[in-house]
Chains A and B, each alone.
Chain A
Amino acid sequence: MQEGTRLTRSIGLIPSSVMIGIFFMVPFVLILLTSVSVPTADGDYQLGFSLEHFDRFASWFYIERALFSAGLCALIALLSLLIAFPFTYMLTQFGPRSQTVWLIYILAQLSLSEVLIAFSWQILLSRTGGIANILVWVGLAEKSFSMAPSAGAVLAALVYLAVPFSVLLLYPALSRLDRSLTEAARTLGASPLRTFFTVVVPVTRPAIISGGVTIFVLTLGAIIVPQVLGKPEHWTLSVLITDQAIFNFNMPFASALAVVLLVISASVIYGVTKFFGGKS
């Protein structure tokens, strides 16, 4: 009887299992297989085992790109958390109505395509339509100039992209923060600022750490901003993967780079949560 019901209950899961199996597990396995495939005489590739594509990665050019990507994304994670944390803390103290309005706007902006964010920063940093005009107007600059492409432009746009995500990642922990803790600190004479740094920040540390890791992985996946606002030397691993797959039709090397990207993401998630004890 028990076995029978378990079987009938599982039957309902067959379509979902098939979909997840074919369209998540198989592509994943294909990447792994292609990354170690062997080239054939006519320029194609076939199943086999060879590490030549990883060998190609192990040159200073690609290692430097990987280090640059990791460093850039770590910096972005740090900056966006610094910008978003105080706001999120204040947001959770707003009334339910204005909280909802803010959250709707933040969600709407967060869902905006990376293409559109890149486009808007292209405008902001351009010679004719942007921040440079304001600098001229205030008298900080002689005449308007273009601020992109540059590493700063990539950084600014990616931080802008990451801030709404940071708000939403910090929101659960901050809105569940036990108010009696901060009240106790205040009654005992701590200033609001001191309460913030000695109570709020330490209590929400796990969320800060897991939020930082998530932002890191998220910006590691950015494709368009580095292309539109940066020079080729600012391209990240994700851009190189796209470039190899779509424009050079080099699937084995693109797959090898994807495996590297996966390993970097996974080891950062694992390492940081293990080392700092954030929640997974």
Chain B
Amino acid sequence: MNILRRLYLAIFAIYLIGPIIVITAVSFNEKRFLAFPPRGFSFRWYAEIFVANDWFAALMNSLVIALAAATLSVLIALPVAYTAWRYGLRYARALFGLGIAPFILPPVIMALGFLLLFTSTGFHGLMINVIIAHAIFLLALPLVTISLGLESVDKSLIEASQTMGASNAVVFRTVILPIAAPFAFAGFAFCFVLSLNEYIIALMTVGFTVETLPVKIFNALRYGYSPVIASIAVVFLLINITVFSLIARFSNLTRILGAQD
């Protein structure tokens, strides 16, 4: 039984990580054509991301959009999650449910909706469009993580500080924020990573004016193989791993993902 278990685990691990290892190996290829096992060893396709102007511009676009979208998303989510938790307002809870919905729908539907909105109002192609679109599309993530964080605040702590004369603002700053902040950070980080990797909404809102990295990769894919894509995949995976490690370090990852304490 134990052998069977280990065998299954090994196969699963190979299945999950194998393709990633192949990309990593290919990204160190010396030649421009695709070869696995790789021929030669070089970092030139990593240097290319920063040297080639178009790849670097796309990377910067993606980073700016992801940072702004994640910030905006947390700012929209915070009052909703807070009022729903603190006062249990029915309106706040309805808003909460509405904020979750875009993330559950197939993304192409939201993408088409944004395209229609921005073309019919004449604002098509601005970078702010994709920032707002991502913030709304990913709103579910900060909503869920922040309310998870708020649920772990002991309400008797709030009562205690209020009896001692603390105002609402002081209670928020000294009691609620320190406990909920790591979860808000987790929401921010989830948003950041998913915005960085998002393709269809970026294409439909600003695809022809502001090229994000996933859009640029797909455009490059159509003209055939480019080894830079392999190095970008590795860089993206490293960014993702770093961000999620930070969440695990400063917040409670297993709890966010639904395990009990």
Contacts and interface: CB of A to CB of B under 8 A. Distances in A.
B233 A116 contact: yes
Interface in A160-192: 160, 163-164, 168, 171-173, 175-176, 192
A92 to B, nearest CB: 8
B240 A108 contact: yes
B164 interface: no
Contacts of A51: none
B248 to A, nearest CB: 5
B204 interface: yes
B237 A123 contact: no
Given A128-B33, A238-B106, A223 B237 contact: no
A90 B5 contact: yes
Contact of B203 (A23, A34, A90, A246): A246
Interface string A89-107: 0101000100110011111
A16 interface: yes
B36 A245 contact: no
A122 B214 CA distance: 16
Interface in A208-246: 217-218, 220-221, 223-224, 228, 238, 241-242, 245-246
A235 to B, nearest CB: 12
A82 to B, nearest CB: 12
A139 interface: no
A100 B254 contact: yes
B92 interface: yes
Interface in A222-280: 223-224, 228, 238, 241-242, 245-246, 251, 254-255, 258, 261-262, 265
A40 interface: no
Contacts of B33: 128
Instruction: Label chain B's interface by main secondary structure.
Output: helix
A175 B252 CA distance: 15
Contacts of B136: 19-20, 23-24
Contact of A23 (B92, B112, B132, B253): B132
A217 B104 contact: yes
A28 B113 contact: yes
Interface stretch (B20-28, B53-61, B154-162, B174-182): B20-28
Interface residues of A, number: 83
Contact of B217 (A92, A107, A115, A173): A115
A84 B92 CA distance: 36
B106 A96 contact: no
B249 to A, nearest CB: 10
A123 B22 contact: yes
Most buried by A among B12, B34, B75, B106: B106
A115 B79 contact: no
B203 A109 contact: no
Interface stretch (A6-14, A55-63, A147-155, A198-206): A6-14
Interface string B67-109: 0000000011101101100010101100100110110111111
A194 to B, nearest CB: 12
Contacts of B170: none
A50 interface: no
A115 B113 contact: no
A228 B19 contact: no
Interface residues of B, number: 85
A71 interface: no
Nearest to A214: B104
Contacts of B260: 175-176
Interface in A120-149: 120-124, 126, 128-130, 133
Contacts of A171: 257-259
Given A23-B136, A175-B260, A221 B108 contact: yes
Interface string B192-231: 0110111110011001000000100110010001000110
A163 B229 CA distance: 23
Given A19-B76, A120-B233, A129-B22, A220 B106 contact: yes
A222 B253 CA distance: 27
Contacts of A261: 106, 108-109
Given A87-B9, A107-B244, 6 more contacts: A19-B136, A20-B136, A24-B99, A31-B116, A90-B8, A119-B221
21 contacts: A6-B89, A13-B95, A20-B95, A27-B114, A27-B117, A31-B112, A83-B15, A100-B254, A103-B253, A113-B236, A120-B19, A121-B19, A123-B26, A163-B16, A171-B257, A193-B1, A242-B108, A242-B200, A245-B204, A255-B116, A258-B112
Interface of B: 1, 5, 8-9, 12, 15-17, 19-20, 22-23, 26, 33-36, 75-77, 79-80, 82-83, 87, 89, 91-92, 95, 98-99, 101-102, 104-117, 120, 132-133, 135-136, 139, 193-194, 196-200, 203-204, 207, 214, 217-218, 221, 225, 229-230, 232-233, 236-237, 240-241, 244-245, 248, 253-254, 257-260
In the A-B complex, the 3 residue pairs with the smallest Cβ-Cβ separation, listed nearest first, are: A27-B113, A172-B258, A221-B106
